[in-house]
């Protein structure tokens, strides 16, 4: 068996085409351009690269990207104040705090300064709650992108046993909630899991999001399963790709799988936020 590639680049390209068309209609309808504000703290080269990529994608779909660069030594309170100002700015539709932030900053406090209506990256407690309760809100961008990718390939989830490796509040935990919302039976695995191989061997769907290169061995993969590799470190994913692809039915490459879907989902949620803001404005007396 050779797994079919889940082509995140191709699916993201189609999604961005839809976002561009919707953005064009939005500009015609409301006479303004949607704005995504990106807050970047410090000089981490990888973060700067990601922010540039997001700005480029904004330009490609016709959105405006407002970049706010903040010194690495900023105190949590000052960062929170900056984000709160963006949250109250009527010209801003979405806010992205590029993470991780420097270690001395209370990242959760900074995330919670983002107004839920502008949390297009899905990082606040409110967004997590809407994912858990399948209510109207914004998905965490990477898990939301993974769900869009699975849907694009018509991969059934109801009744399937899904294993999520990782429990971060913006990837692993919301990933499990979204899978549960599609009636999968979800198991979370993490650094304290005593027999990871046994858990993976029984899984129909594996989402690897631990950030440990080739943590998931190909020999563990259940024949015919679906493998989503959301990890990236040292230019490798969390899954032993070649060996896993020999057993799985579908697998994401690294790069070119999950990453493009994350950015596309972020922008899809930004245009959705802009439309919700206009709808709310029309309801105002």
54 is catalytic: yes
Closest CA to 262 of 128, 136, 154, 170: 170
Given 22, 93, 119, 121, which residue is catalytic? Answer: 121
Closest CA to 33 of 261, 267, 284: 267
For residue 236, give the DSSP letter. Answer: B
User: Can you name the residues that pair with 67 across neighbouring β-strands?
Assistant: 38
Sheet holding 185-189, edge to edge: 4-5, 250-251, 226-229, 205-208, 161-165, 185-189
Contacts for 83-89 with beta carbons within 8 Å, 24 or more apart? Answer: 83/39, 83/110, 83/113, 83/114, 84/113, 86/37, 86/39, 86/114, 86/118, 87/113, 87/114, 87/115, 87/118, 88/115, 89/37
Given 22, 82, 98, 269, which residue is catalytic? Answer: 98
Query: Alpha carbon of 101 to those of 116, 143, 214: distances in Å?
Result: 20, 20, 26
What is the C-alpha separation between 277 and 93, in angstroms, rounded? 7
121 is catalytic: yes
Active site residue ranges: 54, 98, 121
């Amino acid at each position: 068996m050779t797994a079919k590639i889940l082509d995140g680049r191709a699916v993201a390209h189609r999604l961005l085409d839809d976002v561009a068309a919707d953005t064009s209609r939005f500009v015609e309808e409301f006479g303004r351009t949607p704005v995504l504000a990106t807050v970047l703290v410090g000089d981490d080269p990888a973060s700067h690269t990601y922010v540039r990529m997001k700005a480029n994608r904004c330009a490609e779909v016709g959105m405006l990207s407002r970049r706010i660069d903040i010194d690495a030594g900023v105190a949590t309170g000052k960062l929170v104040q900056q984000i709160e100002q963006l949250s109250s700015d009527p010209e801003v539709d979405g806010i992205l705090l590029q993470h991780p932030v420097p270690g001395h900053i209370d990242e959760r406090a900074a995330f919670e300064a983002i107004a839920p209506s502008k949390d297009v990256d899905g990082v606040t407690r409110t967004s997590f709650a809407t994912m858990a309760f399948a209510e109207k809100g914004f998905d965490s961008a990477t898990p939301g992108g993974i769900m869009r990718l699975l849907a694009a390939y018509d991969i059934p989830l109801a009744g399937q046993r899904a294993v999520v490796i990782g429990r971060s509040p913006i990837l692993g935990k919301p990933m499990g909630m979204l899978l549960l919302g599609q009636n999968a039976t979800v198991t979370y695995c993490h650094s304290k899991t005593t027999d990871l191989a046994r858990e993976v061997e029984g899984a129909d769907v594996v989402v690897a999001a631990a950030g440990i290169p080739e943590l998931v061995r190909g020999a563990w993969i259940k024949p015919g399963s679906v493998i989503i590799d959301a990890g990236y470190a040292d230019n490798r994913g969390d899954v032993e790709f070649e060996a896993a692809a020999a057993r799985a039915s579908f697998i994401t490459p690294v790069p070119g799988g999950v990453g493009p879907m994350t950015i596309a989902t972020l922008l899809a949620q930004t245009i959705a936020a802009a439309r919700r803001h206009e709808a709310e404005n029309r309801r105002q007396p």
